[in-house]
Amino acid sequence: MERSDLARCERIVVKVGTSTLTHPTHQLNLMRMEVLVREMADIHNQGKELLLVSSGAIGLGVARLGLKEPPRTLPMKQAMAAVGQGTLVHMYEKLFSEYSKTVAQVLLTKDDFNERLRYLNSRNTLLTLLGLGVIPIINENDTVVVDEIKFGDNDTLSALVAGAVDADLLVILSDIDGLYDDDPRQNPKARRLPEVYEITDEMEKKSHRRGTKLASGGMYTKLLAAKIVMAAGIPMVVAHGAEKNVLRRIIAGEPLGTLFVPKESRMQARKRWIAFGSACQGKVYIDNGAKEAVLHRGKSLLPSGITGVEGIFERGNVISLVDLEGHEFARGITNYSAEEIKLIAGKKTSQIERILGHKDYDEVIHRNNLTVYEA
């Protein structure tokens, strides 16, 4: 795809990081926040649908209570999130209302994506809000979700939201103007990459660096987000949140930030959920013949190709398919439990009933319930 194609995007997810919203004092950067809200309101006036994933709750809690140092313990972080979330949404509501825009607060956790029914319910709620002309303001429920605070997953959350609502574009605004071939804070000769077509292992290794004290993400979590949306067929742009008219210029096709170019074909919604939204409960190890059949011949996973099982899972759970070198290449919904697969691994389909005493399915994972990561 070309940058000019972004002008045709109708449903856009915008993720704003803590460093974009706040001053070094942890207080809200009201001028920048107001400019971004005005820009989003104007884009909304053009008939485009917007979803805003916003960080900043913990930082606002710190500022509101006058703490001198950012909290270090999880209970304190959760307490700060509880205090700051109300302030954050109140400010958004006040600013958006000046442009006659209605907003809605939506707090999500990983469980809202892991469980299929909760995932569908979250998706339907967001789509209904969009249909009503509302701008959802989304954040992780930091007050109760421990690992989300610890690892700073709002980048990943924005990618999952983009996939759930079939977005046309994800824009992540940060304190850096894109992905570089090296850390620009340490290497002045580092070069910004205008487009990225594939996330390599080298990129991930170079990106293991935290954000600010209150922004627990960094470029690594943005690469994880890019992996999700690129596989789902959704373009993503990482750009500096302080850039003038940043959203309008991105949508107009200007070469701001880094464009992560997606695969040409989009995954079906169900397969996106299997690949990225669901919790993986275990692994099955697959021989080379079965891997070839799944990846390149569109086949289901049969017991004959399985060489090992890891984890405790039941039928209906999502599990990983791992090759003999330990590389995960697919995920799927299993028709058999871990204990049952251990008994039938390496056996022919015709032997399943004799071994287990029943045979509900020929396949361990049917092709319709499989999502592959490479082809």
Provide, for the chain, the percentages of residues in helix, strand and coil under a 3-state DSSP scheme, each rounded to the nearest 5.
45, 20, 40
Rounded Cα–Cα distance for residues 38 and 17 (Å)? 17
Which residues 6+ apart lie within 8 Å of 149 measured at CB?
58, 74, 77, 78, 81, 140, 142, 216
On whether 174 is known to bind a ligand per the annotation, the reply is yes
Q: Which of 45, 43, 34, 54 is nearest to 12 (CA)?
A: 43
Rounded Cα–Cα distance for residues 88 and 95 (Å)? 11
On whether 373 is known to bind a ligand per the annotation, the reply is no
On whether 4 is known to bind a ligand per the annotation, the reply is no
On whether 323 is known to bind a ligand per the annotation, the reply is no
CA dihedral 201, 206, 210, 216 (to 10 degrees): -30
On whether 220 is known to bind a ligand per the annotation, the reply is yes
Please give the angle made by the CA atoms of 19, 25 and 29, to the nearest 5 degrees: 55
On whether 142 is known to bind a ligand per the annotation, the reply is yes
On whether 154 is known to bind a ligand per the annotation, the reply is yes
- Angle at which helices 74-97 and 30-45 pack, to 10 degrees? 50
* CB-based contact 271:371 (threshold 8 Å): yes
On whether 15 is known to bind a ligand per the annotation, the reply is yes
On whether 218 is known to bind a ligand per the annotation, the reply is yes
On whether 221 is known to bind a ligand per the annotation, the reply is yes
User: Which 3 state secondary structure label does DSSP give 295?
Assistant: helix
On whether 267 is known to bind a ligand per the annotation, the reply is no
Q: Which of 114, 229, 213, 90 is nearest to 172 (CA)?
A: 229
Q: Which of 183, 195, 212 is nearest to 58 (CA)?
A: 212
On whether 227 is known to bind a ligand per the annotation, the reply is no
Q: Which residues are annotated as a binding site for substrate?
A: 55, 142, 154
Q: Which residues are annotated as a binding site for ATP?
A: 15, 174-175, 216-222
Q: Which residues are annotated as a binding site?
A: 15, 55, 142, 154, 174-175, 216-222
